[in-house]
Structure 1
Amino acid sequence: MKRILIYSHDTFGLGNVRRMLEIARHLVASSPEITVLLLTGSPMLHAFRIPPRIDYVKLPCLARDTTGRYGARSLAVDLPELVRLRANLIKSATLDFAPDLVLVDKKPFGVQDELAGVLEMLSRVAHRPRFVLLLRDILDSAEATRSVWQKNGYYEAVDTYYDEVLVVGSPEIFDLRREYAFPPFAAAKVRFCGYIAREAAKRSRAHVRAALGVDPHEPMLLVTPGGGEDGFRLVATALEGLARTPAHRRPRTHVVCGPEMPEHHRTAVESAAADLPQVSVEAFSDDMMSLIGSADVAVTMGGYNTVCELLTSGRRGVIVPRCEPGVEQLLRAERMAERGLLRMVSPDALSPSALMAEVQHQFDALARSEPLPRLKAMNGLDKVSRALRTLVDLEEQRTTSPMRIRSRRAGEIVFTVA
């Protein structure tokens, strides 16, 4: 039985843990000889179905505000204490699990460098596990990402510790090797796997519509901000736009607030929707593909998973991307909109009238049966799983570089060569 340890970077929203859990599911489904342990601080993992041969270690929650600052989400401790606690839990779980492969999400040294000690420790053991870094298609702006990677020594970390860098995206949309100025030694390890197509809907379009009381031929709008932690403005704007729309032109609308929307915001959404008989609301769904499949148009934010859900379903989307603390969602929405895959409303231009104009544009295009372009590179899960299975099946391990981290100071890495 091959053991794979997955580290999920998850300080904001549900995107990272959902993506890593989907990879874990695909891995165990693709081979009866794989078992997966997931390390995560997500407070919502228990809400998802966990199949056999997958388990998780729940780390204390970190939080990140819209300025990018980290802190403790729940415990009354300061950040250094929390990071030390998480790092010790990660080290203990890793030693006892003894993985054949470690898959790290997004940050080569983990959040606040909490993986640095584990990487150094495991690089010295006799049977060194394989290390793989997983990156989504877009991290942030070129300037911001290059600065962070240079300051934190991430390029060198890729060279020293990682066997491969798997990118769940397409260079046709965003070539991060070029955009982020990867040095040749790091770029050589990058493999583009394509976007992650979402799992098939569990319920049919007719079944979902019947459960929501929607006529089979009635136009339907879905509004969801993903996790919902910072999605109130999007939902409130959509509801105001619907309220201003004449009742006879108002589409049947279903709102999914997201499990991390604050309770007072969710109450405000439910109150506003109560005055609109064509609008229904639920807090959370673990079957978003069925809901998207039941809709004709979806209004969402621009997170990786949400965009992949739209691309997989073939539904028309209007994206209002998040622009703080990074511009990842904005860049993704712009690149996708340039290719006609979806429509975008910039947060700076967001208003009830602007949003509903884009929604109406999509409904009109649907009525005219205009073809919707499709993105071909949607086989990310298969390619990621195949790459990981290949690595754990190889007998000959890559020789570890003689370069070692000797010490770490604030924002600096000091290397020594053996």
Structure 2
Amino acid sequence: MSITVAMYSHDSVGLGHARRNRALAFALAADLPRITGERVRGLLVAGHAGATADALPEGWDWLVLPGFTRTTNGYESRKLDVSTERLWHLRSSTAAAALEAMAPELLIVDRHPFGVDNELLPALETLQGTGTRCVLGMREVLDTPEATRAEWELIGGPAAVAHYYSGLWIYGDQTVYDPLATGEIPQELSPITRFTGYLAHGRPDDPLTASSLVPAQPYLLTMVGGGSDGGALGLAAARAEVPAGHRHIILTGPQMPAADHDAILDAARSSGSPRGQLRVSRYAPHVPMLVRDAAAVVSMGGYNSLAEIMATTTPALIVPRSSRRAEQRLRAHSLAATGAVDVLNPEDLSPAALSAWAAAAVRRRGLRDGIDLDGLTRIGDLAAEQIQARRASSSAPQSTHAHIAPVERVR
């Protein structure tokens, strides 16, 4: 016998959703065969082409949907010259057809239970009829309670989520940040909620793909996630003084606007640094290795970046996003309260501030022993519970239950 697992991430902003699912795929590929004695295969549905640059376990593959991006006017097509309505139908029907064909025993959905404008609902309706167990995976910080309350109401509230999902996994340490206590996760969903710990230790390692980017001598690393709003940090980093005896790698991200990326390149060229000391690149195939081997790292405050940092002893300065959501600021300050990272508020960002921090940071290491960073080691057991429950349910007489009307597409 074999187990089929599918995962979905909408990927409208940043790279973290798909990278988080990829880490889960490797954990499941390693642990489910040991737990169940069965082979595991899987499909990762993602929304940005850069996801496929990262390898998957044997027997797993990517399905990349044409991309949405978030604008001031809402969601719009990232590249295809089609209307938002047409792209929604293309993505929704493609995801539904793929998931129906795969007939997974377990579907893991990252962050948004119904996808962009509820594009995942047709697939969830189909899978509900097959008995697929669906799990919603959530990062530990969402946003302010007021903002998240509005989001839950928009998708039909916790009852709509509970109608389709049998589990909710929070990828964090409840003692560091508790979204149930803050109200970001409704209390009605607490019976199906499990805290996994941060998805930090045990991330997949592809050292050969990144070897050409790693300099021979010690280096400082600056990274801004997908890069869509990382221009200010990248520019300040390019103008900062590099610690003596070190090089500096700046990752601008594949989603950074061309004008911002070019400005950072220009600043690097005019910095006066010796040739080769400062390197600017849009993308690195294996960020965890670069973080681990860096003398120090400057980063924005996305979940994935922080998880990769927390798995190392590399000193870290977090400059959280100042717009759209309060998520990064809340995460950065909650981790800083444990002593795990340093925080520089975006209004205080400057080349001088980065220079001063880096000069001291490259002479020390970071300690994160008091935080639960072993979430990836627990995913196999949690998944096995869902699969066993699904098989037990499919072999038992079906009982009737009250029907909750599915939410409709948000327009």
Taking structure 1 as the reference length, what is the TM-score of the superposition? Answer: 0.86
**What corresponds to 2:142 in structure 1?**
139
Cα gap change, 1:359 to 1:138, in 2 (>3 Å) = same
Distance 1:403 1:315 in 2: 51
Q: Deviations over 1:297-340 (max 9, x none)?
A: 11111111111111101110011111221111111001111111
Alpha-carbon contact 2:254-2:283 (below 8 Å) kept: yes
Report whether the alignment pairs 1:315 with 2:321.
no
Amino acid of the residue matched to residue 54 of structure 2?
F
Query: Which stretch of structure 1 is more off in the superposition, 143-152 or 194-203?
Result: 194-203
Note the 1:314-393 alignment, pairs <5 A: 314-363=313-362, 366=364, 372-393=367-388
Long gaps (5+) in structure 2 = none
Amino acid in structure 2 at the alignment position of 1:397: S
What is residue 46 of structure 1 aligned with on the other side?
Answer: 52
- Corresponding position of 1:102: 107
Mapping of residues 273-284 of structure 1, within 5 Å: 273-274=268-269, 275-277=272-274, 278-284=277-283
Give CA deviations for 1:13-49 in whole Å, capped at 9, x if unaligned.
1111111111112212222511111111112122111
Q: Does structure 1 retain, via aligned residues, the 8 Å contact 2:215–2:247?
A: no
Structure 2 vs 1, CA of residues 400 and 303 (structure 1 numbering), >3 Å: closer, same or farther? farther
For residues 35-73 of structure 1, the C-alpha deviation after alignment (integer angstroms, 9 at most, x for no partner) is 1111111121221113321112221110013x5821111
Counterpart code for 2:17: N
The letter for the 2-side match of 1:106 is: R
Higher relative CO (CA 8 A, sep ≥ 6), structure 1 or 2?
A: 2
How far the C-alpha of 1:113 sits from its partner, in A, is: 0.6
Give the 3 Å change call, closer, same or farther, for CA 209–183 of structure 1 in structure 2. closer
Shift of 1:362: 2.6
Q: 5+ residue gaps in structure 1? A: 412-418
Amino acid at match of 1:236: L
Q: Is the 8 A contact 1:314 1:374 kept in 2?
A: no
Instruction: Kindly provide the amino acid, as one letter, of the partner of residue 122 in structure 2.
Output: G
Matched residue pairs, number? Answer: 394
* Aligned residue among 158, 161, 167 for 1:158: 161
Cα distance, 1:346 vs structure 2: 1.1
Structure 2: how far apart are the matches of 1:74 and 1:87?
17
SS in structure 1 of the partner of residue 405 of structure 2: strand
Distance 2:180 2:304 in 1: 22
Opposite residue 78 of structure 1, the aligned amino acid is S
SS in 1 for 2:250: strand
What is the aligned partner in structure 1 of residue 190 from structure 2?
187
The alignment yields a C-alpha RMSD, in angstroms, of: 2.6
Moved more, 150-159 or 4-13: 150-159
Displacement of 1:184 in angstroms is 4.1
Stretch deviating more after TM superposition (100-109 or 75-84): 75-84
Deviation at 1:195, TM superposition (A): 0.3
Q: 2:92 maps to which residue?
A: 87
Compared CA separation, residues 184 and 259, structure 1 to 2 (3 A): closer
Q: Which residue of 2 aligns with 1:300?
A: 299
Identity of aligned residues (%): 30
Give TM-score scaled by structure 2 length. 0.88
Q: Is the 8 A contact 2:239 2:268 kept in 1?
A: no
Displacement, 1:405?
Answer: 1.3
Task: Answer yes or no: is the 8 Å Cα contact 2:156–2:407 preserved in 1.
Answer: no
